Amino acid sequence: MNNKLTGIAIAAAIAAVLAVVYWPAPDGGAPDTAATAAASAPPGRSLASYLNIDATPAADAAPVVVSLAQRLERLASSGKPEDAYAAYNLIDDCIVFQRESRLPGMEFELGREMTAEEKAAQQQLCAGMTQRQREDRLGYLATAAQGGVPGAATLFLSEGPFGDRSALRNRPDDPLVQAWKRQAIAQLTTQADAAELSSVSTLMMAYLRDGDVVQKDAPQAYGYLLALRMVYNDILTPGTTNPYQDEYWHWLQNELTPEQQAAALTKANGIAAKFRQHTGRPAHG
């Protein structure tokens, strides 16, 4: 499984259900350009629109193919973190495609494999990818994460320090690695407090046990768990099992004092309230 899928896996179920309702286009409007819409990070991008990004059809003529360099230049020139995220995904998808001759993430979203025509279009898009573009990839992701683009903070963590996940184990005391860890957690925390659910889920899992980035923090983990429970209570249909109920997580609750449980509940209520505000949903019950 490629790196992007690994980073998203923690919150895949949440993203699949909530992407459309949680992060609608500002003011209900369409994106500024077809390039931004088609190149935006998953979920929600169609394979057909992605492969024809920026192609300009003319009457009775084949579409004008726009190169990867041109697409990246257009995205980078906007200065928008969402476009930086789209640029990251364009490059990342090319890296994956050149390695695997397919785009597993997009096939997962669509529920089917790429056609021969789609593979040929992707191969044409990625054929001219340069080493400089590969090196720019993580810079685009950092810009997106700092700009609060949904999902970017989770992928920033997944990529590891400067794209080297082994640095967390091999150079844990390196000041640059330490600074990267602080940045990664700060970004996730800011996004989680704003009810960006992939960040909530990522932090919940991170704080469940000692790891390379953070030490176990049961109160933190339980607060994020409760937030996910509240959100799921709001969105699940009646009779559907909520996977975050205490019957599955009682062992975590039992590690906390009553005071810690109360603090976790306060934290969770704040996140759930932000989610309802974003989605226009009333409080559950």
Report whether 65 contacts 52 (CB < 8 A): no
Task: Note the pLDDT of residue 36.
Answer: 32
Hey, which residues does 119 pair with through a beta bridge?
Answer: none
pLDDT at 31: 33
Distance from first CA to last CA of the chain, Å, rounded?
40
Segment 72-94 shows an average pLDDT of 96
Query: What's residue 12's pLDDT?
Result: 41
CA pair distance 29, 18, nearest whole angstrom: 19
Span 140-178, pLDDT tens digits: 999 999 999 999 999 999 999 999 999 999 999 999 999
The answer on pLDDT for 18 being more than 90 is no
Q: How many helices (H) and strands (E) does the chain have?
A: 16, 0
- The model's confidence at residue 281, banded by pLDDT at 50, 70 and 90, is low
The per-residue pLDDT for range 38-71, each reduced to its tens digit, is 333 343 344 444 444 454 555 555 567 789 999 9
Give the pLDDT score at 228: 97
Q: What is the pLDDT of residues 235-247, one digit of tens each?
A: 998 889 999 998 8
Q: Mean of the pLDDT values across residues 197-225?
A: 96
CB 275 within 8 A of CB 17: no
**What distance in Å separates the CA atoms of residue 164 and residue 151, rounded to the nearest whole number?**
19
Q: d(Cα 198, Cα 152) in Å, to the nearest integer?
A: 9
Structure confidence by residue, pLDDT tens digits, 106-133: 888 889 999 999 999 999 999 989 999 9
Q: State percent of the chain over pLDDT 90.
A: 68
* Residue 241, pLDDT score: 92
